[in-house]
Amino acid sequence: MSCFVEEARDVGSRARVGRLSTLHGEVETPAYVVVGTHAEVRCLRPEDLPRAGVQMIIANTYHLWRQLGNDLETFEGLHKRMQWPGPIMTDSGGFQVFSLGFAREHKVGKHKDKPSRHSARADNENLVRITDDGVFFLDNGEELFLNPELSITIQEQLGADIAVAFDECTSPEHDYNYTRESLERTHRWADRSLRAHTRDGQLLYGVVQGGAFQDLRERSARFIATRPFDGVAIGGAFGGSFGSTREETLRELDWVIPYLPTDRPRHLLGIGRIEDVFEGVERGVDTFDCVIPTREARHGGIWTRRGRFDVKRGVFRNSTSVLEEGCECPVCSYGGDYYTDRGGLHLLFKERDPRATHLATLHNVFFFNYLMGEIRRAIREGMFSSLKREALSTLKGLPPVSGTMEAT
């Protein structure tokens, strides 16, 4: 029986509303999956999560593996650790194969024209050694081995509702031949992940890779579709924010989606900006995860319907405006002697008061979850194209935001 049911479809696109069922509850889709890398959503308390409209959280398998070590065998599970009763997803560690490996060696981020956060370092050593059996990570002079079987075991020990098959995320600098060889290896790892997966009730997603090459992307989509995965995650070198590589990423989605089963959920790895979400939903994506709401909040980046602004800028020093007019988040709607307006939040950041990152994160997470709710409503009412047009025209009509930062 499928874990996913499609409930409504947009007449002019592949956008759809659905319901994803897990052991810890249901998720209405399209949905934003909030990042909790180390088994916590940074700057938010457990009681903040429902107030911010959170439906599902994604934690990082590689970092938790490194953090917990031998304690994984007696780990109480992500739900108890996070004091969160709802669905939790974990990745496979496949992105760290890229971020700790060729991202450093090639001095790139997820896109060719966006440098890696390691690019400014004098030491750009590739810390990863890839073999057909698995991956060796160099950590403080010691090599640590991760393969499909161990990745699945870790995700089962973490107790995630949704696990992801182990894969290799390739670099934007990789040529066709390397990408093809990597894809064949990822497909073998997908089958090994399926054989290793034994936890009853835990859903397992396969990963579509193939870089920026149409025939490889289509081959991967067809391959994953033939395997008994519960859902599909779409990843790869261009799997981050669309940004200046928007056209490439949109083409990749257009190549992939037609080959994926309609009765399984589709997750887009690492996507998060407003325009990204609308374009992904229009093409049939059901869930997204990204650090943008939380990471940018910690640096003063506030997201609204009109885009992002940096509340730390001096222009907001004496502002008495709420973060976003009409917003019903716990911050904007508080109305008490709390530092909830732009000037107050500016002051908290200036004084490095921990309330600053808490309030900014609470607003941002609420905003993106509210946006997804509006998208679901618009699809049900046959108004998705109108909502998208209105939202994106508002964004395009704005001047560049001073102080804008990429999520790093």
Residues 93, 61: contact at Cβ < 8 Å?
Answer: yes
Sheet of 16-22: strand order equals 4-9, 16-22, 25-29
Cβ neighbours, 10 Å, residue 94: 27
List of residues 6+ apart from 366 with CB closer than 8 A? 51, 52, 53, 327, 328, 329, 330, 331
What tokens does 313 get?
């800028």
Residues 206, 264: contact at Cβ < 8 Å?
Answer: no
* CATH (one of 3.20.20.105, 1.10.3430.10, 3.10.20.30, 3.50.50.60) for 4-290: 3.20.20.105
**Cα 147 to Cα 153: distance, rounded to the nearest angstrom:** 10
Buried b (16+ CB within 10 A) or exposed e, 263-293: ebbbbbbbbbbbbbbbbbbbbbbbbbbbbbb
**Cα 214 to Cα 175: distance, rounded to the nearest angstrom:** 13
Q: At what angle do helices 148-158 and 176-196 cross, to 10 degrees?
A: 50
**Which phi and psi (to 5°) does residue 31 adopt?**
-145, 155
The model's pTM: 0.92
**Cα 128 to Cα 169: distance, rounded to the nearest angstrom:** 12
Sign of the Cα torsion 233, 291, 379, 212 reads: negative
Domain ranges of the chain: 4-290, 299-396
Q: State the catalytic residues.
A: 91, 289
Show pLDDT as tens, one digit a residue, over the chain (408 residues): 789 999 999 999 999 999 999 999 999 999 999 999 999 999 999 999 999 999 999 999 999 999 999 899 999 999 999 999 999 999 999 889 988 988 888 877 654 445 544 444 446 788 999 999 999 999 888 899 999 999 999 999 999 999 999 999 888 889 999 999 999 999 999 999 999 999 999 999 999 999 989 999 999 999 999 999 999 999 864 443 333 466 788 889 999 999 999 999 999 998 889 999 999 999 999 999 999 999 999 999 999 999 999 999 999 999 999 999 999 999 999 755 556 899 999 999 999 999 999 999 999 999 999 999 999 999 999 999 999 999 999 887 655 443 332 232
What tokens does 185 get?
């290896």
